Amino acid sequence: MSSNYEPNIVAFLCNWCSYAGADLAGTSRVHYPANIQVIRVMCSGRVNPLYVMNALQQGADGVLVSGCHPGDCHYMEGNYYARRRLGMLKDLMEFVGVDPRRFHMSWVSASEGHKWKEVVEKTVEDAREAGPFEGFRRRQIDW
Amino acid sequence: MTEKPKIGVYVCHCGVNISATVDVETVAEYAQKLPNVEVARTYSYMCSDPGQALIKQDIKEKGLNRVIVASCSPRMHEPTFRKAIQEAGLNPFYLEMANIREQCSWVHEEMEEATAKSKKLVAAAVAKVRLLEALESKEVDAEPAALVIGAGIAGIQAALDIADAGFKVYLVEKTPSVGGRMAQLDKTFPTLDCSACILTPKMVDCASHPNIELFSYSEVEEVGGFIGNFEVKVRKKARYVDVEKCTGCGDCAAACRVKDRFPSEFDQGMGKRSAIYLPFPQAVPAKYTIDPENCLFLSKGKCGKGPKCQEVCQAEAINFEQQDEIVEFKVGAIIVATGFDPFDASRKPEYGYNDYPNVITGMEMERLVSASGPTGGKVTIFNGEEEIEPKEVAFIKCVGSRDASVGNEYCSRVCCMYTAKQAHLIRDKIPDANIRIYYMDVRAFGKGYEEFYDRVRRENVRYIRGNPSEIFKRGNKLVVKAEDTLTATPLEDEVDLVVLGVGLEPRADMRETMDLLRLSQSPDRFFLEAHPKLRPVDTATDGVFLAGCCQGPKDIPDTVAQAKGAASSAMIPLARGKVMISAQVAVVDESTCRGCGFCVNICPYTAIELVTVNRFGHDVEVARVNEALCKGCGSCSAGCLSDSIQPKSFRDRQILPQIAALGVLR
């Protein structure tokens, strides 16, 4: 691991809570590491577990999925689906030998700008400890 | 898609909001080199008229068919740019935004890393935008009616405005009477209008208005549907009094076996009521209600030889058999005006609110000075020996506001002024009283407020800057222990009466409303508006609007203004008679769907059903989406075994390239 290694994090955020929470962090000028890139989806329930694997395959060192707090889902129960599916994925990742520190799930509401910062810091820190991910062979990107 | 993508990338400076941290020129140069990018430009304010004109011009002159705006959050300006490209003849869904402000320039400090991140976000947007499809928004009819939840001054005003405009309004109030907190107030600052005199006519209006259907003592039980077509279920709780027959004479309450035994909610527990009661004399509707928890007949099954109220009621209005009733109706828009709870002063034990009867809250003071209150407006207290007129009165402000120790960092906005008003009222009633107000800061920001504050000070009301640390008893007196921080003098101030200027808190039951309407809370725990400045009455749920203190502490003028704002916003779909429904719904590829029905079970909106189609001469079952019911969450898609069901604009084939773009550019 080189000393100036910076982990590359891909995050999937639901439009209503976590994306809005991340926006609030911006409006409140809360600073956090730039290692994280966000993909907006309408609901954390949209996040196919394969996206997480795909992100690791494509060069991410860590993945974060964040949605509304349980019970607060804008679509009533999408985050429950996310919790089930991704919880299972996390177990599976460990089983196939991927460091579980590479994958995080969190619940960040539209008012939790500061929590978002903490979540990002934790995700980046864990991925940093886990080191660069070379577990899967990377596919050539075909533009 | 046969047409080759021609992408325009527009990087916004946002004044210096973005350009101070992100090297926008470098980002544009980088974007220019990405595949299919025809043109990449920067501009100081992309959302401004000239900024939009730039995009439109390029669409026309360069034949762009996809647009990327790298600027603020799509939650902010996606509708703006969709509209702009639509005006230039492009499908509005051929747009993708890269959020390089809220999630980049505002949260990162180093220009190098913020610029690198912006490049990635633009690359991800390019990867996705090429694969977006044209979508058509559909219009559906909107029900020309509104639901208003809560009938305090905010709900009443909103209901009246909508009803006056000619639309039907269903006004639902939890308690037996409309009026809310304002009905409990004595005078209103700074004009000293009598609260009842300005409110009661509106209460009467909203009950008698031909367009308003009032459900008092009722609760909204269920809300389904979407903007324009909300389906509402209201529970009319059993009053055990037939409102058609009740004349409001009050004979029942006078005859009640447990007459005047229970604390009156309206009088803040300072007055008493019977088990059958009218909350206050001016209540609307002027119909009695039986409190089932305290009524002997309802709680114990026995009331002497028979309920006395029933015996004396000439109108035969009392009906112990009455059941809750469920009423259903449809509305196009909903206004939430559920109000606030006063801060519970017992959470500041150092002020001894639970220990000393002569430590009272501002709300209790309102009832004490009110002519309709438990003492008929006479300010007297019992000092342990006798009933006296308090000559030494202390007010303490910011109780439960601006206080992180109780979790309320916000200013409640009304306490400074109601304290000043109450000091004035005491001065009026007890001219020789010695009045002092302990304060942290005085915030007299509204129209006429500073002038009123000045007037109260001239009336010999002493303002002492300091937050008391403790209140304790010494003989018949209460001692306020404080420090005058302007002179650094410690004080032990002996007084007869302490009034705590309690702040405003979110309602204890707001969780129910949140669940009902999918609302969010802001950090202060009040309801979250869609935008703090530009959409202060809207919520994240289309067609649901906020009015009054449920959105944050407000005085009466601000509440009324916001109620009028919410009413006018709610009337937009009602007046148009049509609403746009989202085009970003799920769609099934029937050629690969295996008809397993997983998605049918997942969908929280029952928008998916299995239908039989003919595939190559065989009857097979496939899933089909009802577009009017689908909200586009995509939960079905992540659960689909064959990737056959996909939400438009968030398809696998649109998201996966985004992932690739973010991953590959280490």
How much of chain A exceeds pLDDT 70, in percent? 93
pLDDT tens-digit readout, B639-657:
999 999 999 999 999 999 9
Is residue B397 pLDDT above 50, yes or no? yes
Q: Within 13 Å, how many C-alpha atoms sit on residue B303's CB side?
A: 21
Task: Give the best residue of A4, A12, A17, A23 to mutate against chain B (max B CB count within 10 A).
Answer: A23
Q: Do B520 and A51 touch (CB under 8 A)?
A: no
Q: Do B634 and A42 touch (CB under 8 A)?
A: yes
Nearest Cα residue in chain A from B113: A34
**Residue B1: inside a domain:** no
Residues of chain A in contact with residue B632, where contact means CB-CB under 8 angstroms, are 42
- Can you give the pTM of this predicted structure? 0.86
What residue ranges define each of the domains in chain A, with the CATH number in brackets? 9-130 (3.40.50)
> Region B430-444: what's the mean pLDDT?
96
Residues of chain B in contact with residue A8, where contact means CB-CB under 8 angstroms, are 662-663, 666
- Predicted local confidence at residue B455, as pLDDT: 97
By Cβ distance, the residue of B120, B518, B637 closest to A37 is B120
Other CB atoms within 10 A of residue B39 CB: 18
Cα–Cα separations (whole angstroms), residue B307 to B118, B239, B263, B293: 75, 15, 21, 15
Adjacent-strand bridge partners of B627: none
Residues of chain A in contact with residue B70, where contact means CB-CB under 8 angstroms, are none
Q: Do B528 and A110 touch (CB under 8 A)?
A: yes
Contact B193, B240 (CB under 8 A): no
Q: Where does a domain end: B448, B472, B505?
A: B505
Domain that holds residue B80: 7-137
Residues B164, B255, single domain; the answer is no
> Region A97-118: what's the mean pLDDT?
94
Domain count, chain B: 5
pLDDT tens-digit readout, B333-346:
999 999 999 999 99
**What is the rounded distance in angstroms from the CA atom of residue B40 to the CA atom of residue B19?**
16
Residues of chain A in contact with residue B659, where contact means CB-CB under 8 angstroms, are 10, 39, 51, 54-55, 58, 60
Q: Where does a domain end: B440, B475, B505?
A: B505
A134: closest CA of chain B, how far (Å): 12
Residues of chain B in contact with residue A20, where contact means CB-CB under 8 angstroms, are 75, 520, 540
**Residue B659: inside a domain:** no
Residues B376, B441, single domain; the answer is yes
Other CB atoms within 10 A of residue B50 CB: 10
Residues B394, B484, single domain; the answer is yes
Q: Do B113 and A34 touch (CB under 8 A)?
A: yes
pLDDT-derived band at A135, boundaries 50, 70, 90: confident
Residues of chain B in contact with residue A69, where contact means CB-CB under 8 angstroms, are none
Contact B27, B58 (CB under 8 A): no
Is residue B458 pLDDT above 90, yes or no? yes
Is residue B2 pLDDT above 70, yes or no? no
Report the CATH number that the domain containing residue B93 is assigned in CATH. 3.40.50
Is residue B527 pLDDT above 70, yes or no? yes
Residues B351, B334, single domain; the answer is no
Is residue A138 pLDDT above 60, yes or no? no
pLDDT tens-digit readout, B169-224:
999 999 999 999 999 999 999 999 999 999 999 999 999 999 999 999 999 999 98
**Residue B526: inside a domain:** yes
Residues of chain B in contact with residue A88, where contact means CB-CB under 8 angstroms, are none
pLDDT tens-digit readout, B570-611:
999 999 999 988 899 999 999 999 999 999 999 988 899 999
**Residue B657: inside a domain:** no
Q: Do A31 and B109 touch (CB under 8 A)?
A: yes
Residues B567, B615, single domain; the answer is no
> Region B371-379: what's the mean pLDDT?
92
**The three-state (H, E, C) secondary structure of B276-314, written as one string:** EECCCCCCCCCCCEECCCCCHHHHHCCCCCCCHHHHHCC
pLDDT-derived band at B665, boundaries 50, 70, 90: very low
Q: Do A51 and B659 touch (CB under 8 A)?
A: yes
pLDDT-derived band at A1, boundaries 50, 70, 90: very low
By Cβ distance, the residue of B521, B605, B638 closest to A81 is B638
**Residue B353: inside a domain:** yes
Query: Which ipTM score applies to this complex?
Result: 0.93
Residues B347, B495, single domain; the answer is yes
Residues of chain B in contact with residue A71, where contact means CB-CB under 8 angstroms, are 515
Contact B240, B320 (CB under 8 A): yes
Average pLDDT of chain B is 95
Contact A132, A5 (CB under 8 A): yes
Q: Do B638 and A25 touch (CB under 8 A)?
A: no
Four-residue CA torsion sign, B8, B14, B15, B21:
negative
Residues of chain B in contact with residue A140, where contact means CB-CB under 8 angstroms, are none
Q: Do B520 and A45 touch (CB under 8 A)?
A: no
CA-nearest of A67, A103, A27 to B104 is A27
Task: Give the best residue of B410, B635, B648, B649 to mutate against chain A (max A CB count within 10 A).
Answer: B635
pLDDT tens-digit readout, B480-493:
999 999 999 999 99
Residues B391, B522, single domain; the answer is no
By Cβ distance, the residue of A41, A112, A141 closest to B660 is A141
- Predicted local confidence at residue B664, as pLDDT: 64
Is residue A2 pLDDT above 70, yes or no? no
pLDDT tens-digit readout, A16-47:
999 999 999 999 999 999 999 999 999 999 99
Report the CATH number that the domain containing residue B607 is assigned in CATH. 3.30.70.20
Residues B159, B149, single domain; the answer is yes
How much of chain B exceeds pLDDT 90, in percent? 92
Residues B101, B217, single domain; the answer is no
Q: Do A75 and B631 touch (CB under 8 A)?
A: yes
**Residue B382: inside a domain:** yes
Q: Where does a domain end: B105, B137, B169?
A: B137
pLDDT tens-digit readout, B237-258:
999 999 999 999 999 999 999 9
**Residue B176: inside a domain:** yes
**Residue B658: inside a domain:** no
Q: Do A74 and B121 touch (CB under 8 A)?
A: no
Report the CATH number that the domain containing residue B355 is assigned in CATH. 3.50.50.60
A76: closest CA of chain B, how far (Å): 7
Q: Do A32 and B107 touch (CB under 8 A)?
A: yes
**What is the rounded distance in angstroms from the CA atom of residue A61 to the CA atom of residue A59?**
6
Residues B182, B276, single domain; the answer is no
Residues B372, B448, single domain; the answer is yes
Residues B516, B546, single domain; the answer is yes
CA angle A93, A95, A97 (to 5 degrees): 70
**What is the rounded distance in angstroms from the CA atom of residue B195 to the CA atom of residue B153?**
11
